[in-house]
Amino acid sequence: MADIRNYTLNFGPQHPAAHGVLRLVLEMDGEVVQRADPHIGLLHRATEKLAETRTWVQSVPYMDRLDYVSTMCNEHAYCLGVEKLLQIEVPERGKYIRTMFDEVTRILNHLLWIGCHALDVGAMTMALYTFREREDLMDAYEAVCGARLHAAYYRPGGVYRDLPDRMPQYRESTWTSAKKAKDLNDNRSGSLLDFLEDFTERFPKYHAEYHTLLTDNRIWKQRLVNVGIVSPERAMQLGFTGAMLRGSGIAWDLRKKQPYAAYDKVDFDVPVGVSGDSYDRYLVRMEEMLQSNRIIKQCIAWLRANPGPVITDNHKVAPPDRESMKSNMEELIHHFKLFTEGIHVPPGEAYAAIEHPKGEFGIYFISDGANKPYRMKIRAPGFAHLAAMDEMANGHMLADVVTIIGSQDVVFGEIDR
- Domain spans of the chain, in order of start: 43-87+90-170+186-311+346-375
Round to the nearest angstrom and report the end-to-end CA distance of the chain.
47
Percentage of the chain with pLDDT > 70? 98
Top mean-pLDDT range of 14-23, 167-176, 279-288: 279-288
Please state the rounded mean pLDDT for residues 267-281: 92
State the pLDDT at residue 299.
94
Secondary structure class of 155 (helix, strand, coil): strand
Phi and psi at 56, nearest 5°, equal: -60, -40
Please state the rounded mean pLDDT for residues 369-381: 91
Mean residue pLDDT of the chain comes to 89
Q: Is a pLDDT exceeding 90 seen at residue 200?
A: yes
Q: Is the peptide bond before 13 cis (omega within 30 degrees of 0)?
A: yes
Q: Is a pLDDT exceeding 60 seen at residue 3?
A: no
Burial (Cβ within 10 Å: 0-12, 13-18, ≥19) of residue 361: buried
Q: Is a pLDDT exceeding 70 seen at residue 334?
A: no
Q: Is a pLDDT exceeding 60 seen at residue 79?
A: yes
Q: pLDDT-derived band of residue 376, with 50, 70 and 90 as boundaries?
A: very high
Q: Which residues are 11's β-sheet partners?
A: 24
Q: What is the pLDDT of residues 119-147, one digit of tens each?
A: 988 888 898 999 999 999 999 999 998 88
Q: Is a pLDDT exceeding 90 seen at residue 319?
A: no
DSSP assignment of 32-81 equals EEEEEEEE--TT---HHHHGGGS-TTTTHHHHHTSSTTSHHHHHHHHHHH
Secondary structure class of 161 (helix, strand, coil): coil
43-87+90-170+186-311+346-375 belongs to which CATH class? mainly alpha
Q: Pick the closest to residue 296 from 96, 70, 91 (CA basis).
A: 96
Pairing label, strands 359-367, 348-356: antiparallel
Vertex 354: Cα angle to 349 and 356 (nearest 5)? 135
The answer to whether 281 and 110 have CB atoms below 8 angstroms apart is no
Pairing label, strands 359-367, 375-379: antiparallel
State the pLDDT at residue 373.
92
Measured distance CA(167)–CA(160) in Å, rounded: 17
State the pLDDT at residue 416.
86
State the pLDDT at residue 1.
46
Helices 125-145 & 192-214 angle (0-180, nearest 10):
170
The answer to whether 278 and 403 have CB atoms below 8 angstroms apart is yes
Q: What is the pLDDT of residues 159-190, one digit of tens each?
A: 998 999 988 888 888 888 888 888 888 888 88
Q: Which of 103-117, 216-230, 317-331 has the lowest mean pLDDT?
A: 317-331
Q: pLDDT-derived band of residue 93, with 50, 70 and 90 as boundaries?
A: very high
Q: Pick the closest to residue 225 from 286, 279, 281, 283 (CA basis).
A: 279
Q: Pick the closest to residue 199 from 213, 188, 211, 210 (CA basis).
A: 188
Q: Is a pLDDT exceeding 70 seen at residue 235?
A: yes
pTM above 0.75, yes or no: yes
Q: pLDDT-derived band of residue 67, with 50, 70 and 90 as boundaries?
A: confident
Secondary structure class of 123 (helix, strand, coil): coil
